[in-house]
Structure 1
């Protein structure tokens, strides 16, 4: 017996099927839409302040005993110099679509500015600032005996990476972005590995599976090539070694003892695995606390005047010391893809005396100048970030150094 379907019936059936599919995949479609338009000029500012609302995220509660910096607001320099040109600070902050700028000098907030949609209690996406938090957790895990040594193989803790690009790499190699893994980190290339990774997150793809898909390009420990997935692998090592999620471990070891005053959010895949390489969402003041911790070599003085070593001192010192030729700063280092130096997920800018920094795409910075007792935090949503002719990074460092000189003791 044949059943004849009317055109209306076919259309109705198609529409019902479509509605079911849209309902089932609605969250993924929303995430994919956000991922694809993440850096669009008319959306970027809002997106960077609401990432944890669009993607799966794990909440890290604020400290039960929050710490607050003293406040002594002062003026910033109106201009700074870059390659013989005088630039306006106000114009530069506008051109880079700055969301927040904070300067801490001698334990006091001397400047705190919010722009566009940002406010003191709003969490801003970290991007690669998160890498430096992960590095701190690795140092703590080693101190607690969860990880024996950074000379161990990655596969000692993550055996599922045997036979992948990470087979044969040491933990130290991934800490120093020298794993040898092949990876295209160009955010301006829609088909780059990093943008493929973003779309994988939108679809809920396992982050661990994506990490296992990469192949080898260089001998581990010989060439500095910035590969964000290296930090994802560090996250895999941490969770296997500690038996804890990154969010739980961060909450106990850093957020609570440091008195972080606001909750944070860590983006995660559909299996609950955190985006170790760049998924933290943190307020400006709490980013600044982390910078202040590293300025004091991992030691923290809480609101009651109690001093505690949160991150081992030697780990902090090692983290900001390039210890091999391929990690040294320089314009023409043949074994590095960067002009800046690199440690354990921390950058040492070209021409640094003692400065070091955490850095994330589109203008995220925690800049630390120990001999000036100074920390600068900048959150941004620069829609022109991929325009390499503008030298945004070099100009930003010039600005930070001008601010540091401005607050230097006479």
Structure 2
């Protein structure tokens, strides 16, 4: 019996050592998985959204060695009381307003700072759309009506076989993808775990085989469509999205701080929501679009693409919010009124007629409640309308 106890003790010691070794080997993956599980918790969400690079794999987006193209300050805007109430209700962490290209209001909340590089979530989709427009203008991508398999042959035989670049830009691929953030077993949350554990986003996408409609027949917002846009861009150029965006968009804009993308285990940028930039620099991107793709005398994004991508071309239902090429167009929008939008309250709102850009970040855990999205749009419109009392 004593001998058995000795052997049992040795076996337990070996098991403990093996467990410790596995723990060390997988420590980073376990840390990222734990970060995913607590990413949106009430006590951590604000900090997490400004510090994504401390928990996830990431890669820098080069801002270049050129000088910062500083934004100027205009006449100070004093928001009406309704704006202050909205900031509190929607757990806003940053708000930057531009009028006539100058900052009229800038404020940060909940202990966050101006230099925080904040997670974009789906606002990142509009950046990728801008890059597509540039590549089409350069002739690297022949047409948005090309099949995605022309540039991403790995998608042959998958749910995306038969879809065009236009279809995925419009979120009209017809591919079945569950984007319920509250369901831990949904496709979007399974994808998040793959990202956290260092898996490959391309593998995940290539495993999708089900469709609910023919390409172009119906609109349904599925974020994985944007990853396919990224696969097309990478296939067409043979380069990473981070390198391309840095060279063709970020460097010409002269950002104040270097952005970064979250990545999967092989360094592929999480293009559908992993871009991290300061709020002031989000506003700078919006101002460039408001100016028809120009920034300080340089045409960064082709004007034709700015116009084409920001009008409601997707087959959405009549009277509902519209969708272009990875840009949202509010119901009842005036000409030149559109926005980039991400979960938990990330926005770049552009109102061309009033020459106003609003960039806001938030940690709004109630963002999916009925009426919240419209409340945000109404607030942006009120801010645009009350600039300088006009």
User: What's the TM-score bracket when you normalise by the shorter of the two chains?
Assistant: over 0.9
The match for 1:364 is: 346
Q: Where does residue 74 of structure 2 map in the other structure?
A: 72
Residue pairs, 1:213-292, within 5 angstroms: 213-214=207-208, 215-292=210-287
Could you tell me how far 1:217 is from its partner in structure 2? 1.3
SS in 2 for 1:204: coil
The offset of 1:77, in angstroms, is 2.9
Q: Distance in 2 between matches of 1:328 and 1:385?
A: 22
Instruction: Kindly indicate whether the alpha-carbon contact (under 8 Å) linking 1:357 and 1:367 is maintained by their aligned counterparts in 2.
Output: yes
**Cα distance, 1:408 vs structure 2:** 5.8
Shift of 1:11: 2.0
2:356 aligned residue: 374
TM-aligned CA deviation for residue 188 of structure 1: 1.7
Contact 1:76 1:403 (8 Å CA) reproduced: no
2:125 corresponds to which residue? 131
Detail structure 1 runs of 4+ shifted over 4 Å in the superposition.
none
Shift of 1:329: 5.2
Partner of 1:84: none
Mark the runs of 5 or more structure 2 residues left unpaired by the alignment: none
Distance in 2 between residues matched to 1:7 and 1:242, nearest whole Å: 59
**Residues 80-119 of structure 1 deviation map (CA, whole Å, 9 limit, x = unaligned):** xxxxxxxx32222112111100100001100000011321
Q: 2:139 aligns with which of 142, 145, 148?
A: 145
Cα RMSD for the two superposed structures: 1.5
Superposed displacement of residue 350, structure 1: 1.0
Establish whether residue 342 from structure 1 lines up as the match of residue 323 from structure 2. Answer: yes
| 1:397 has 2:387 as partner | no
TM, length-normalised to structure 2: 0.95
Deviations 1:24-54 (A, max 9, x none): 1100001000111111111111111111221
Task: Confirm or deny: 8 A CA contact 1:372 1:408 kept in the other structure.
Answer: no
Paired position in structure 1 for 2:174 = 180
The number of aligned residues is: 384
For the Cα contact (< 8 Å) 1:169–1:179, is it kept in 2?
yes
What CA distance in whole angstroms lies between the structure 2 residues aligned with 1:409 and 1:313? 30
TM-fit CA distance, 1:192: 1.4
Match status 1:162 vs 2:156:
yes
Matched, 1:308 2:298: yes
Distance 2:213 2:354 in 1: 39
After TM superposition, give the deviation of residue 299 of structure 1 in Å: 1.1
Look up the match of 1:32. 33
